[in-house]
A = this chain, B = another copy of it.
Amino acid sequence: MVHVLDVAIAVTRTNDEAAAARTHPQWENMVGPFGGITAATVASAVLSHPDVQGEIVAITVNFAAPIAPGEWAIVAEPVRTNRTSQHWAVTARQGADVVVTATAVTGVDRDTWGDTEAVMPEVGAPDTYAETRIPFPLKWLENYRMRFIAGEIPMPPAPLADDADTMFWLRHAEERAWDAPALIAASDAFYPRVFRRRGPAVRASTITLTTYLHASAGELAAAGSHLLLRAGASRYGRGLFEQRGEIWSEAGALLATTYQLVYFSEPRIDA
């Protein structure tokens, strides 16, 4: 049995640069697919390119338009190959329309000094928290299990929160080891920060997502089932806000940091 994440991110190479992808009904979000699976599919197109060198260390995915159910075409080009890094430019279309742009950098693993300055939050083990069900009928949520530590969605009549801080343990619903595409998908698994401040009736969608991967493939594969996800917001205004997030292994390694700028629009209140 192929894991539902791998089914969804599978691409068929149509030539060296182009790859055909297909949306998967199990990853549907409010409008179009879950952004994380779109980003992971872009990563998959890069990693399946015959000329790829190294592992993905940075990726920026811009969600230009909703992807309709069905096929979409990803052109990922290695525009520059250096000794230790390779630069990728990606454009994805559905028919004639650009739906996604992206850039990625792959890097060759080098053995150097290392340290972590970010501090992992002090939390209990995953099994000390109850499984949390986010009360939206979104298919992609079924592919994960979440155990919230703090910062759930304030569902009415609960009062709005004063901050957007959220922490939860995340694992795949059906077990699967972590790797770059899975981690990139997980980096978009936060519900929109603005829900904490304005409630879940606000419309929100990610415009651009940047994720840095700080762990090698080997470290990722050994990370175990549960990852600790943490996110907050910096500033909201002009119908936009920034989310900043961190992804930690249970053993305390910072696996990824992730940022996104999100569009939001509040419902009109009829008098």
- Chain A: residues with CB nearer than 8 A to chain B? 57-58, 60, 62, 64-65, 79-80, 82, 84-85, 87, 89, 91, 97-99, 101-103, 105, 107, 109-118, 163-164, 197-198, 207-208, 210, 212, 214, 216, 232-240, 242, 244, 246, 254, 257, 259, 261, 263-266
Q: Which residues of B sit under 8 angstroms from A264, Cβ to Cβ? A: 112
| CB <8 Å contact, A118 and B87 | no
Give which listed residue, B57, B79, B265, contacts A240 with CB less than 8 A: B57
Given A79-B91, A105-B208, check contact A257 B244 (CB 8 Å): yes
Q: By the criterion CB–CB under 8 Å, are B103 and A261 in contact?
A: no
A107: which B residues are within 8 A, CB to CB? Answer: 238-240
**CA distance in complex: A113, B236 (Å):** 7
Q: Are A207 and B85 in contact (CB under 8 A)?
A: yes
A160 to chain B, nearest CB (A): 11
Query: Given B99, B117, B212, which contacts A261 in the complex, CB threshold below 8 Å?
Result: B212
Asked if B240 and A254 make an inter-chain contact with CB atoms under 8 angstroms apart, the answer reads: no
* Pairwise interchain contact A116-B234, C-beta atoms closer than 8 A: yes
- A46–chain B nearest beta-carbon distance, Å: 13
B233 touches A117 (CB 8 A): yes
Give the residue of B62, B109, B118, B164 whose beta carbon is less than 8 angstroms from that of A238: B109
Of the candidates B87, B99, B102, B246, which one forms a contact with A103 in the assembled complex, judged by CB atoms under 8 Å apart? Answer: B102
Q: In the bound complex, how far is the Cα of B102 from the Cα of A71, in angstroms?
A: 26
A57 surroundings in chain B (CB, below 8 A): 207, 238, 240, 261
Asked whether, in the complex, the Cβ of B62 is within 8 Å of the Cβ of A87, the reply is yes
Whether the pair A214, B239 counts as a contact (CB closer than 8 A) is no
Contact in complex: B114, A237 (CB < 8 Å): yes
